[in-house]
Amino acid sequence: SAAAAVWWWPFGPAHAMAVAVSVLIVTCPCALSLATPAAMLAGAGALARGGVLVRKLQALESCAGIDTVVFDKTGTLTEDRMDVIMAHTPVGVNRDEACDMAGALARHSLHPVSRAIAARFPAPGWVASEVEEVAGRGLRGKVARLDGSGQQYLWLGSASFCGAPVPGRGAPLLQAHLSDGEHYLAGFELDEAIRPDAARAAVPLAQAKADFIMTGNRLLTVPALLVQARRTRTIVRQNLLWAAIYNAACVPLAIVGHLPIWLAGIGMAASSLLVVANSARLARLAPEQ
């Protein structure tokens, strides 16, 4: 602005000062200085409301370039075994009997799901024979009481493997089903057992100075974080582009004296408001896909 004032001074001190003030207002780096922090703070605020605490805003920018996520959950936060958290049977089916038959069949497999069912339902009064294990699908075989009564040929495993209509329920982490090939007999919902010391993981996590802390127990917060980081990067680039275009267009106009002071002030305020409004789009997380 001083150079512009010197240049225009021979044409009149009043005009020179007006040009200098216009240049000073236009070159005020409000939009440019707000471009990155406004977007970062808006994105981090939305993540915090969604259960992700951002400890370093710079990490949000780095997170936008992540294309692979590797989890070390089993053995770290969970034990190397599963637990049956719920067993349900349709109307008309004896729940205890169905669970015992599933337990007797599951004893013949070392699969984690089978071990969980067998541990939950020991079924001392039942035996299974001619058991066949189909990798990745389940077990099938004859199940009967110790005295030989109540013999049935049963399927235990995935819904498609059991070959019977499965009642519509929620979507837990894992399900196993029991059927006789035509009728649905029982369903089991399983989850990995949480390690007793997992609750204390927050202390070493804080000591390790992690960039992000997930406060919930939903893995969907991880893709939400990645999506928000990429959205934040996009908004930052848009803000910087707008600030650059604004300065490239208005500074020459102010220098040549074609931008009055009042218009320079409006332009500076409008540019800053546009950057803030664009950053406010990050105040809400993107819908989960």
Contact 19, 257 (CB under 8 A): yes
What H or E segment, with its residue span, contains residue 85? strand 78-88
The SS3 of residue 230 is: helix
Question: Letter for the amino acid at 96?
Answer: D
Q: What is the 3-state secondary structure (H, E, C) of 156-219?
A: EECHHHHCCCCCCCCCCCEEEEEECCCCEEEEEEEEEEECCCHHHHHHHHHHCCCCEEECCCCC
96 is catalytic: no
Which of 72, 83, 100, 147 is labelled catalytic? 72
Tokens, residue 17: 């000062």
The SS3 of residue 34 is: helix
What H or E segment, with its residue span, contains residue 58? helix 57-63
Contact 178, 160 (CB under 8 A): no
Question: What is the number of residues in the chain?
Answer: 289
Distance CA 286, CA 230 (A): 11
Residues annotated catalytic, as ranges: 72
